A and B are shown apart, each in its own frame.
Chain A
Amino acid sequence: MRGFSIIAGFLFVSTASAGIDVGGDFPREKESVILTLTTAGGAPASGAAVSATYGPGSEVLRVVPVGTTDDQGKLSWTPEEAGLVTLSAEIPGAEGEPESLTNTVSVRFAKPPGLGILVMLVAGFILYGGVVRGFLAIRKPVPSFPPDT
């Protein structure tokens, strides 16, 4: 339980790894994209087992296997939901030492989410409606009621 938390652990958070490419624009949920994996040496990463972690670092994260890359280091992936997704791959090494690749991508919504918009509007109405009402109330003189019995 942390209120004003401090760094829980130092992570080198990188926004992109050269090893896993998802193509030009942000992928969209439910639309396939072709992943292209390359090793540190620049060669296609064939036979790499790829998994997708939806909601990395959250309490609702889930890891879903995506598949294994072909000889050209390519693999088709259809994001299951929108949000932040960390793609991870283990490439079997020639001398038994695997190489790990990661890339965190933002997956777009297929269309604006109705439920999300509803939450935004309801929460906003409660908070800012209350603020407006409160400021209007402070302009009025305060009545002095007799003590409660």
Chain B
Amino acid sequence: MTTKGRGQWGSKVGFILAASGSAIGLGNIVFFSANAYKFGGGAFYLPYLVALFVIGIPVMILEFGLGHRSRRAFPESLHSIAGKTGEFVGWWALMNAAFITMYYITILGWVMGMFFGSFGQLWQSTFPTPGFATAELPNPYGYFFNMLSTWKPLIFVLVVWGLNALLVRRGVATIEAAVRWFVPLMWLFMVVLIIRGITLPHGMDGVWLLFTPKFEAMKNMEVWQGAFSQIFFTLSLGFGVLTAYSSYLPKDSDNTNNSILTALMNCGFEYIAGLAIFSILFAFAITPQASTLSMMFFVVPQGIAELPGGTAGVMAFGLMFFLLLLLAGLSSSISLVEGLAASLIDKYRISRPKAIGIFCTLGAMGSIMFTLPMIVNPNLANDGTLGLTLVDLVDHWAFSYGLLIVGLLECLLVGWAFGAHKLRAHVNRTSVFRLGGWYDWLIKLVIPGLLIYVLGSAIKKEFKEGLYGTTFADNYADAFHWMVSSPAVILGMWVIITVGLSLVFTMKGNYRGEEES
């Protein structure tokens, strides 16, 4: 397959920075810590490391290998090994990723709002919350929900979409230039937060708490499920972006080493983030919550508000924390935008500005839905505003199920339709660490089996406890009682839109060299 005119990473390090930047996102900074606390501290490291080496790295090798082999983005890579069926799976992954991108960028808009709030208003003791049952709430809740109940986040969301368009405008050239700043700054800010955390009175006890194992947690299968899910999400698997990124690699790339390095950098970042988060939370006796948004917007800022050093100290660390989130989020979102843009360019031979323009425009319109400020739950027993409720519902399907479904399908396609040994042969051709036959069995049987188990457990829970979101109905304000059917509607829309658009993209148009039917 010709690669004429296709961009290429400027250096191996540039690719690693981009790939690790894609993997390291908002969840790395706060969610791993919360999960480790929830699932037994140091004991969680055992299932986590097992999941990393049994699922995470092998699937990453698969995704890198596909892109490197075909020199094309995800749908065409899967088309090259499994025809239209493979292509459909590739487009479905990207449509699912598009949903995620839309609300991810909305969340980055909220992060930007909190960043500006860190200049002062966020650190007041309370903030007015008109429209909610309580006239004012203690910060950071007050500032956050006040922001969400206005149209202000819309401006931030449009700025973030604009930044994404700017940073991918020349493909790998601009992406690499951006991550060469973003990723080192992320690590630097995290190190500063660690130093601040462990030098707090009794901060080191927080670190000991993170790593001290409570082995009784391991008897609970939910711990293992949590670890398998966590590793999939944290490594950005199932989005199609790693395949897009690796399609820009030169022929002599060691994809096994690339995968191991990217995965370990991602997990290494979570490791040190835990040091910062746990030391700060322990110093102020704040309980972690197993929710990324709660940790980012409430729990950690509560800790920052207690830091010594007066207003200036609190402001400085608050700004640094939210800037860190913004950089981590941007390095991930640009990969999501690139994944879809590259796929459109590959299939329809449109220009890069046109592809970016189409996705960013439609994406921004989707993100606007997630910023809708109407207060549907004034008592805040659930999510509060319409936009946040939609994020919650869409995330449940697109993130918790969609990515695992893509992972399962890509393993089955590579393992059974194409032949895992063929992909392994391609990867081994330019890898110092050569994968053995065990890799084939991981891709064909072990990983699909584990993913089916995790998905099956989740679906069983859905049937047992009712469709996710149905309990929200008890708390909707009268004017929003029509939202009682929203869980089923959101699920239906997610299925119809992702499947429908995937069919359209699969059937419409042909790749270069493909015969017209």
Contact = CB atoms under 8 A, between A and B. Distances in A.
A61 to B, nearest CB: 10
Contacts of B264: 126-128, 130-131, 134
B212 A2 contact: no
A2 B430 contact: no
A9 B271 CA distance: 27
B27 A112 contact: no
A138 B26 contact: no
B409 interface: no
A16 to B, nearest CB: 7
Interface stretch (A39-47, A50-58, A67-75): A50-58
B70 interface: no
Contact of B212 (A106, A116, A140, A141): A116
A140 B432 contact: yes
Given A2-B290, A145-B434, A58 B285 contact: no
In the complex, which range does the number of interface residues on chain A fall in? 35 or more
B254 A3 contact: no
A147 B425 contact: yes
A120 B207 contact: yes
B384 A10 contact: yes
Nearest to B264: A130
B297 to A, nearest CB: 8
A113 B212 contact: yes
A113 B26 contact: no
A94 interface: no
B287 A13 contact: yes
B96 to A, nearest CB: 12
Interface stretch (B38-46, B58-66, B82-90): B38-46
A115 B430 contact: no
Contacts of B201: 26
Contact of B13 (A116, A137, A138, A140): A138
Interface in A105-149: 105-106, 108-109, 112-113, 115-117, 119-120, 123-124, 126-128, 130-131, 134-135, 137-138, 140-148
A131 B217 contact: no
Given A1-B226, A59-B40, A84 B285 contact: yes
Nearest to B430: A142
A111 to B, nearest CB: 10
A15 B381 contact: no
A82 B207 CA distance: 12
Given A120-B207, A127-B264, 6 more contacts: A5-B292, A10-B382, A13-B287, A113-B211, A116-B212, A130-B264
12 contacts: A6-B291, A8-B291, A15-B284, A15-B306, A84-B209, A116-B213, A119-B212, A123-B49, A127-B268, A138-B13, A138-B258, A142-B431
